Chains A and B, each alone.
Chain A
């Protein structure tokens, strides 16, 4: 029997529902997550099922409810906070960086902060500069945090379930343009482990490491490249921190070539981090410079053409691959 296909949004909804059924300490806090069902309808039906104390509509107070989740997590709950756009984490950064991420270490290992911050990022929808950023690297930089970016419904569900059961603060960044995409998700329960990359497509000529929506761009590029006889291997780290560098290194040692694609800005971004790790640990296997495909160092503009120009494109990935396979 074929595995059913559901949307990325519904996969996340299922993960939340299943974990809330399983564990009465899991509760959701966020703006419009209750009666309205979430601005992207990710939490719909949960308020009706679990009630207001476990699916809490909060005022527009990101710092307040994120910090409350820290206190709730330290005292026996497993809160899942929704921050509507990842751009709004700026308002809650003290709670995430100074409180959630540090509590365990600075208190000598006694505190546990089992919380998940669900948010969504990414450009391509005309949301302009304050609703389109990809801020994952801010969190990747901070010890104590786990950072996850799922690209498929299957990964989104399995990773969110793992994130909720994890005893650390987890930043779970969805993509606004993936909510309506669909993919196979088994009916039976499963988990996707944190910190394990997935090879989305096998190939021998070049390694493409891509995250979130860029995985789909990379797969499209790989399809085009195949027509020209270039076999690309596409790796989705799925978890950005801790990074499964071993899977990436194994691939690079096979292909000798690496292109890294991420929707964050180029400077100080994820592509630079992966490039640094790979040149340090697999320098002798590289046959070409590592190429980075990332968003231009400009705020995301509103105009469609300008926005698309700022973001990585399938053509950008194809060009980067061609430049490292010298064709």
Chain B
């Protein structure tokens, strides 16, 4: 593993950026400033940050309804994201997409997706495209344990394996599928066993260990670029909050979430401990990064609040190219 100090710091910073972003998104939703529904990524930061750390700027990702973390990890601008949550003209989608549809094609972010599993075939097609165009681009397809039960995973995954497409299916097993625990919906013992039916090896990884995720995805990227085809990784993690902000969480055992928020399991605390004990970071440096991330998110909220509403005439724009 070759991660220099600056890269490690960037990863730590991005994890805090995600956590603060979600904290403010939750608050803005509670103030009725974010409409519809919004889904927070809190507690899963290590998956997006670890995976995107293994990618180049021109590599692609497809994201999910719980997509803020993926977007920030791939380099998305928190100001334009926050503005989109508030439906403003300066948002990534000019206020037309909202929380579930943030995309930045210049950064290879092919979109969050409101359909569970909606990114799976798109990611596979982007990988097909990279192959036909003769680039070295790879695609990371984020999806959840809920989406793992969508039929499109069999269809697209099979084709990716058949044609050795440069795509990495990265299942975030956060243990919940919308408003239910996900475990009762799997006949297999472990989710990674699903990969066998697609002609791939299923690779489990501790999804709360950002360096483990990074290393696992890095190896998959290497295989993909070498023409060795797709990978199927299952990152074991935990969704700290409800399916949506405002979810009463009646289906979750009392005390369960607290067991995942301990310093031993919280992905940010774990990574911080590593940085101090094994990478020579001072605790004060980490605290400074945390505060800088918080300030960047505060500035993003302010930017969003100060931004104009889209003009009514834009309603009819961009239906067709």
Contacts and interface: CB of A to CB of B under 8 A. Distances in A.
B156 A99 contact: no
A200 interface: no
B320 A168 contact: yes
A197 interface: no
B96 A70 contact: no
A58 interface: yes
Nearest to A70: B122
Interface in A42-99: 53-54, 58-59, 61, 63-77, 79, 94-95, 98-99
A144 B96 CA distance: 14
B125 A94 contact: no
A107 B92 contact: yes
A14 interface: no
A84 B124 CA distance: 21
A143 B317 CA distance: 12
Nearest to A143: B319
Interface string A20-48: 00000101000000000000000000000
Contacts of A73: 125
Interface string B64-97: 0000000000000000000000000001111111
Given A59-B158, A68-B159, A94-B115, A74 B121 contact: no
A172 B207 CA distance: 44
B28 interface: no
A111 interface: yes
A91 B224 CA distance: 29
A69 B121 CA distance: 8
Contacts of B158: 59, 61, 64
Contact of A74 (B114, B126, B152, B319): B126
Given A59-B155, A99-B122, A77 B129 contact: yes
Contact of B159 (A59, A99, A104, A112): A59
B132 interface: yes
Interface in B147-162: 151-152, 154-156, 158-159, 162
B131 interface: yes
A24 B40 CA distance: 42
Interface residues on B, range: 35 or more
Given A64-B152, A67-B122, A144-B319, A109 B129 contact: no
A167 interface: yes
Given A64-B152, A94-B115, A77 B319 contact: no
A103 interface: yes
A268 interface: no
A63 B103 contact: no
Interface string A109-148: 1111110000000000000000000000000000110100
B321 interface: yes
Interface residues on A, range: 35 or more
Contacts of B156: 61, 64, 67-68
Given A53-B131, A71-B110, A98-B114, A108 B92 contact: yes
Contacts of B43: none
Interface in B126-155: 126-133, 151-152, 154-155
Contacts of B115: 94, 98-99
A64 B155 contact: yes
Given A53-B131, A71-B110, A76-B133, A106 B121 contact: no
Contacts of B114: 98
Given A61-B155, A75-B129, A77-B129, A107 B101 contact: yes
Interface string B48-70: 00000000000010100000000
Contacts of B155: 59, 61, 63-65
Contact of B128 (A68, A107, A108): A68
Given A104-B321, A106-B93, A108-B92, A74 B101 contact: no
A63 B121 contact: yes
B97 A76 contact: no
A69 B321 contact: no
Contacts of A143: 319
B105 A111 contact: yes
Nearest to B97: A106
A79 B122 CA distance: 13
27 contacts: A25-B132, A25-B133, A61-B154, A63-B155, A64-B159, A67-B121, A68-B122, A68-B159, A69-B125, A71-B62, A71-B124, A71-B127, A71-B129, A72-B126, A75-B125, A77-B132, A103-B103, A104-B320, A106-B96, A107-B92, A108-B93, A108-B103, A108-B318, A109-B317, A114-B321, A146-B320, A168-B320
Which 7 A-B residue pairs are closest in the complex by CB-CB distance?
Answer: A67-B121, A71-B125, A64-B155, A68-B125, A109-B318, A108-B93, A71-B122
Given A108-B93, A110-B103, 11 more contacts: A65-B159, A66-B121, A68-B128, A72-B126, A74-B110, A75-B60, A76-B133, A79-B125, A98-B118, A105-B318, A108-B91
Interface of B: 60, 62, 91-97, 101, 103-105, 110-111, 113-115, 118, 120-133, 151-152, 154-156, 158-159, 162, 317-321
